Amino acid sequence: MVELAALLTGATARNALARRDITAVFGILRDAGVSQLRIAAATGQRQSEVSEIVSGRQVQSVALLERVADGLGVPRGWMGLAYGLGSEPEPTAPQDVLSTEEEIRANLLRHGGTALFGRPVFGPAASIRVPDTPAPVPRRIGPPDVGHVAGTTERLSRLVSDFGGIPMTDALTAHARVSEALLGATMRDPVRQQLLVALSDAHRTAGSAAAGAGLRELARQHFVRGMDCAGAGGDLRRAVVNLGYLGSLELRVGPNEALKFFQLGAATAPTRLTRAALEYRCAWALGLLDGAADALRELRRAAESFEAAREEPRPWKYFATALPHVEGCTYFALRRFDRAAVAFAAAAEETSHAVVCTVSNSGLLAAAQLRCGELRSGLATAEGVITLAKDLRSVSVRADLAPLQQAAAARRESTCQDLARELTILRRAA
């Protein structure tokens, strides 16, 4: 019997594995005559699960990806699973040994001939792989180098907002890792403090991308490292902000644990605006815990903190949209859909420049409108959401479309049922 790993060594299979496109991987095995039953037995799944994946369901669970890699007999590193944040770089595959510079140049020419003519006109070429070679670290750095780190973080952050976390996670993780290496250079103490602050932002942004890609453990590592860098850099506000992001990540698993993070952040926040942001999140968690009275009391407290801090500069770019979004989530959890719709409308108006934020806020706005019986408005909002979401590669954003899917499915109108089915397909394609 042919080993499954032997069928997955070609370029197409390796690319699919690198993208973690298990649908394509299983398709290659199927085309080679491997039955779904055999794939299921190898990967520890039911045949129905394999069938769903072959039909297009994407695999995002790291545990399942690892089980698939082990079951198929391929190295976890081929799927970017064996080497996490801060670990050693993935070893490259063995290459043909070329001992002299003359042999290396001749091999380059053979590659060129094959690429241009479609056949090995100068003979078969030895394989060449791009190794994971770290860039050299400058012996000494100053403020301009820190500026490059911060500027790159900002540019990559905009791409996450426009494209989603899946296509940007690897780039941001690499950026954070390369930037960390600068700590080994010689620098003055004030520059080191500035670098640590810039690294905190880099890790927070990388964590957001990883969360958007459904890589929860990687996101955790980035947020924790972001807190560490902020603390070492003497920036308590950034440490609290990273803690808030960590709490929001845990909120997807359970509001109890998330509430502890939010309460800790609110208790230690160095500014009133930052405290207001954490208090709003406390209200959201309490709402999910069915504590209506506590949630509403926390919302009032958060609003008072925000009002008292009107003159403070906004601590991050999308601060004006974050608070009404969380307020809307709280009211939605409490099933006060009319109040939720007002909050989400305010958030959506502020975020037309950030596609990820627009899809999340508008999707929840459409869900609240449908729950309120505003059929025409809800369907119109949902139509715009679907148009934008089709171009996004974000697990978390498409998970945020679940309330809209459920709201549409709860209505009897054929247009709503059609919307629910379209959203089901869209969410599976993240």
The pLDDT confidence band at residue 90, using thresholds 50, 70 and 90, is very low
State what percent of residues in the chain have pLDDT above 90: 49
CATH of residue 399's domain is: 1.25.40.10
State what percent of residues in the chain have pLDDT above 70: 91
DSSP classification of residue 126: P
112-116, 396-400, 411-415: segment of lowest average pLDDT: 396-400
- Is residue 129 domain-resident? no
Specify the pLDDT at position 372: 94
Q: Which of 79, 107, 124 is the last residue of a domain?
A: 79
Tokens read off for 31: 């085309």
Most confident listed range (54-68, 121-135, 391-405, 408-422): 408-422
- Is residue 248 domain-resident? no
**Which residues have CB under 8 Å from 144's CB, separation 6+?**
none
Q: Which of 37, 56, 79 is the last residue of a domain?
A: 79
- Is the pLDDT reported for residue 141 higher than 80? yes
> How confident is the prediction for the chain on average, in pLDDT?
87
The pLDDT confidence band at residue 129, using thresholds 50, 70 and 90, is confident
pLDDT, tens digit, for every residue of 175-222? 999 999 999 899 999 999 999 999 999 999 999 999 999 899 999 999
Query: How far apart, in whole angstroms, are the C-alpha atoms of residue 152 and residue 113?
Result: 37
Query: How far apart, in whole angstroms, are the C-alpha atoms of residue 1 and residue 13?
Result: 20
Range of the domain at 20: 4-79
Specify the pLDDT at position 12: 79
- Is residue 405 domain-resident? yes
Q: Give the residue with greater pLDDT, 115 vs 94.
A: 115
Specify the pLDDT at position 234: 95
SS3 content of the chain, % helix, strand, coil (to 5): 70, 0, 30
Specify the pLDDT at position 318: 57
Q: Give the residue with greater pLDDT, 15 vs 235.
A: 235
The pLDDT confidence band at residue 84, using thresholds 50, 70 and 90, is very low
DSSP classification of residue 207: H
The pLDDT confidence band at residue 353, using thresholds 50, 70 and 90, is low
Query: How far apart, in whole angstroms, are the C-alpha atoms of residue 320 and residue 389?
Result: 22
Domain count along the chain = 3
Q: Give the residue with greater pLDDT, 344 vs 80.
A: 344
- Is residue 288 domain-resident? no
Specify the pLDDT at position 94: 39
> Are residues 331 and 420 both part of a single domain?
yes
> Are residues 410 and 326 both part of a single domain?
yes
CA atoms within 13 A on the CB side of 313: 4
- Is the pLDDT reported for residue 1 higher than 80? no
- Is residue 397 domain-resident? yes
Specify the pLDDT at position 13: 83
3 state SS of 398: helix
Nearest to 269 by CA among 251, 244, 299: 244
- Is residue 330 domain-resident? yes
103-117, 211-225, 287-301, 367-381: segment of lowest average pLDDT: 103-117
Sign of CA dihedral 183, 187, 188, 194: negative
Query: How far apart, in whole angstroms, are the C-alpha atoms of residue 236 and residue 251?
Result: 22
Burial code (b: 16+ CB inside 10 Å, e: under 16) for 184-207 equals: ebebeeebbbbbbbbbbbbbbbbb
State pTM to two decimals. 0.71
- Is residue 226 domain-resident? yes
Query: How far apart, in whole angstroms, are the C-alpha atoms of residue 179 and residue 161?
Result: 21
Specify the pLDDT at position 112: 92
Specify the pLDDT at position 83: 45
> Are residues 74 and 146 both part of a single domain?
no
- Is residue 120 domain-resident? no
Specify the pLDDT at position 86: 42
> Are residues 149 and 75 both part of a single domain?
no
> Are residues 424 and 331 both part of a single domain?
yes
Q: Which of 176, 201, 234 is the last residue of a domain?
A: 234
CATH of residue 63's domain is: 1.10.260
The pLDDT confidence band at residue 152, using thresholds 50, 70 and 90, is very high
152-156, 157-161, 391-395: segment of lowest average pLDDT: 391-395
Q: Give the residue with greater pLDDT, 311 vs 241.
A: 241
